[in-house]
Structure 1
């Protein structure tokens, strides 16, 4: 009899979530996400999986973001045929996001193949295609929050609202190998209490092991009140000084919808009638429709607002939806008065690149960074104060004012992570994933020093670490790191 958990992604870094649960020789994946960041990071998506795809019985998917779902088409391409259990809203969002990812993979392969042809080298194939996406979408099994379901022999799961994006779930897994019974709770990506649109993350009382994200384990976000004041000041300064456009690189799912809601709520207070708000992202537009469709999942304030303003939906009002490429290009001829929300959120691709090309070098423009920026991405370079940035092959001086508005983050900060963990009875063993090493080390230190939160035992997972779940509450590693390969 055996039960093990091996960590094959989001270890010492934020992206690429992928954890292999094995019970009596049968294998199940928690997430199968894409690695994001610089070119070298993303090249790792082409490396072989550390397991045999056909041997995976099922996948349990926490939410739709690409760093959690993005390699599912590749998994199916390599022979996985089992069910993918996830929340109903996540299934709807994945239908949009994975198709968009396939399109980007195709475009990236085409660009690289032009360069390879010039060097006389063989062409490459896209990581996966739209046909691969269609194949994997047929495997999705939509669930609701609170539903108990056996997803593999010896493993049952219950989805709880994680409050991160629409459909995001933290997972309660009951594991039984015939000799031992253990309960593991996987946070997925945890949201924040009091944020607009979504309900607050749920708490869980008991676990034998907590697997928790740590994206902002070394940081405290600004309060919601201070964040709103900061945004108001940015817009007020831009108006009073007759400045240029405001660009907001934003994730198409979650952040874009939150911004639309805020712009509707505070249109008068922020004097936004002087601005034209443009959502320049076909994927974000489609995701917004999914948000509207899943209206019952929203928090009470959002639902009350919608009921009080029939025919003036807060995610659809006072905004121009920019669908076509020609419409997007036309925005580059307007040098003042635009608030452009566009992807990608880390400035690695998408239409935001074109808008940066036309606005980044202009001192009268503003760039609002309002989401996590992975190491190696252009967005991270802007946050870190780079003076020049290469965009679409052109080296541009960074003359626009860069604003980092961390209070809009959809990830729990250090205090919120500790508070969520603190609801567990008896401080169960804790393993951190989904965070950079520095962030994890500081969070572990804070947990160790605070007697109210101190886990029985704790660690940050490393790539290839394999944990013997039967030995809990002891964290017994069967092998660690490179030994697993």
Structure 2
């Protein structure tokens, strides 16, 4: 048996890990889209590094596009197997994949207009909306904490990862030549004090562990400061500068957290009376999916539901549907808050909002989560004074803020707590994925001091034999 790392290897995007058994049976863990990788992005998404038709089964940890976004291409290239994931992940993946396809079609059309003027050949989207819809019959809803027999030699268990609604850690029991090996894949690990979700669950002892490491060398700001920090930016931008506060936010997880905190401020009567626009049809649909799975909520939120039937709604909240309504926001000079996808600001409507408002000193752009350094959000967060958007250069005149307390990824303490249920002496190899290389090097040092004997940071497409 061996494993090959085809994505999220020394980077935080494009999650894809391929386990191949001695009999040739192939298990793909996640099939994510690379995002924010600059000029390399298209080539990385075009080439899997394996033959899609050879994959027997796909196991999806959660619905975020950097973990699920290449599934339509996988199917288009010949994959016909089952896709195992939790019920909430099925609901989210259906809308996220269709939205991803729509964004690709729209952005490709936008770019191709410019390419045509320059006499350049047109680009083709990676997949279409029709391709995304063709994936749906392959999903197999799999509940948490239930061993599922995949075939005669492979069993699957999901435990709650606490990252987004439906997110799971993947646990495989694989029998080869009369011996069972246990492989666990963390997916993305959530936080132990999340305002909406349950904490990551304990899980069975593993022989091999594939673990995300996004924040393996840092600690987040306290969650209890989030509402106050958000209020500061709304007040400063909308009330004092009379401008627009633009917040790039992932449609799943981050948007619902923002709405939760804004609702809290509204209940306390401290939220300024300015319109708050969620400019993303996907965010509206995702919020409805989140509401439909209250069994995943933590006990605190379940208690809040007893007196506030909708903790994601408040006065002056408006969801934007059509493209025309979205464009109208850029012509509207009134103070407002615009929450829009994507979270890294590298695609979708938020990219257009930033392009149209970045050169006005009245406005602010608030980054509320992780951004790959080469993404538009990453470049703004790192203080670049000029950024390239849709092949045009823009001076960064608007104020850029960063709020680190809202990450859905666990920090160093959370990652260590996640590992607390494991005996390091029984882990043959721990593979660090989904992280920047310098962060992973620091995290590996700390893990080895905790007793993990072999901590490996695989390279892209690296193949490693499991003894």
Per the normalisation by structure 2, the TM-score is: 0.94
- CA distance 1:8–1:390, shift in 2 (3 Å): closer
Partner of 1:33: 32
* Aligned-partner SS, 2:183: strand
User: In the alignment, is the contact (CA less than 8 A) between 1:362 and 1:400 conserved in 2?
Assistant: yes
Partner of 1:288: 287
C-alpha separation in 1, matches of 2:229 and 2:261: 13
How do 1:303-452 residues align onto structure 2 when only pairs under 5 Å count?
Answer: 303-310=302-309, 313-318=310-315, 319-427=317-425, 428=427, 429-449=429-449
Q: Which moved more, 1:109-118 or 1:197-206?
A: 109-118
TM-fit CA distance, 1:239: 6.1
Does structure 1 residue 18 correspond to structure 2 residue 22?
no
TM-fit CA distance, 1:123: 4.0
Partner of 1:481: none
How do 1:176-195 residues align onto structure 2 when only pairs under 5 Å count?
Answer: 176-195=175-194
TM-fit CA distance, 1:423: 2.4
TM-fit CA distance, 1:383: 0.5
- CA deviations on 1:354-406 (whole Å, 9 max, x unpaired) are 32233222222222101111121110111110112233454332222211111
How do 1:254-265 residues align onto structure 2 when only pairs under 5 Å count?
Answer: 254-265=253-264
Partner of 1:73: 72
Partner of 1:202: 201
Q: Which moved more, 1:389-398 or 1:373-382?
A: 389-398
* Aligned-partner SS, 2:126: coil
User: In the alignment, is the contact (CA less than 8 A) between 1:35 and 1:44 conserved in 2?
Assistant: no
User: In the alignment, is the contact (CA less than 8 A) between 1:218 and 1:438 conserved in 2?
Assistant: no
- CA deviations on 1:218-267 (whole Å, 9 max, x unpaired) are 22111112334333333344466354221110001110011111111122
User: In the alignment, is the contact (CA less than 8 A) between 2:255 and 2:283 conserved in 1?
Assistant: yes
Instruction: Extract structure 1 runs of 4+ deviating beyond 6 A.
Output: none
- CA distance 1:122–1:84, shift in 2 (3 Å): same
* Aligned-partner SS, 1:151: strand
What is the root-mean-square deviation of aligned Cα atoms in Å?
2.0
How do 1:108-187 residues align onto structure 2 when only pairs under 5 Å count?
Answer: 108-115=107-114, 117=116, 122-187=121-186
C-alpha separation in 2, matches of 1:153 and 1:105: 39
- CA deviations on 1:183-228 (whole Å, 9 max, x unpaired) are 1111000010111111111122511111100111122111112334
C-alpha separation in 2, matches of 1:124 and 1:225: 46
- CA distance 1:338–1:98, shift in 2 (3 Å): same
User: In the alignment, is the contact (CA less than 8 A) between 2:448 and 2:454 conserved in 1?
Assistant: no
List gaps (5 residues or longer) in structure 1. Answer: 472-485
* Aligned-partner SS, 2:140: strand
TM-fit CA distance, 1:62: 0.3
- CA deviations on 1:110-133 (whole Å, 9 max, x unpaired) are 345445545655544321112221
> Residue 460 of structure 1 is aligned with which of 442, 457, 461?
457
User: In the alignment, is the contact (CA less than 8 A) between 1:58 and 1:152 conserved in 2?
Assistant: no
C-alpha separation in 2, matches of 1:301 and 1:440: 33
- CA distance 1:63–1:32, shift in 2 (3 Å): same
Partner of 2:104: 105
Q: Which moved more, 1:269-278 or 1:242-251?
A: 269-278
C-alpha separation in 2, matches of 1:395 and 1:426: 50
- CA distance 1:245–1:105, shift in 2 (3 Å): closer
- CA deviations on 1:329-364 (whole Å, 9 max, x unpaired) are 222233343111001111112221232233222222
C-alpha separation in 1, matches of 2:120 and 2:245: 42
User: In the alignment, is the contact (CA less than 8 A) between 1:205 and 1:425 conserved in 2?
Assistant: no
TM-fit CA distance, 1:419: 2.1
C-alpha separation in 2, matches of 1:393 and 1:112: 9
List gaps (5 residues or longer) in structure 2. Answer: none
C-alpha separation in 1, matches of 2:269 and 2:181: 51
User: In the alignment, is the contact (CA less than 8 A) between 1:236 and 1:270 conserved in 2?
Assistant: no
* Aligned-partner SS, 1:184: strand
C-alpha separation in 1, matches of 2:212 and 2:447: 14
Per the normalisation by structure 1, the TM-score is: 0.90
Partner of 1:476: none
Does structure 1 residue 231 correspond to structure 2 residue 261?
no
* Aligned-partner SS, 1:442: helix
* Aligned-partner SS, 1:290: helix
Q: Which moved more, 1:37-46 or 1:50-59?
A: 37-46
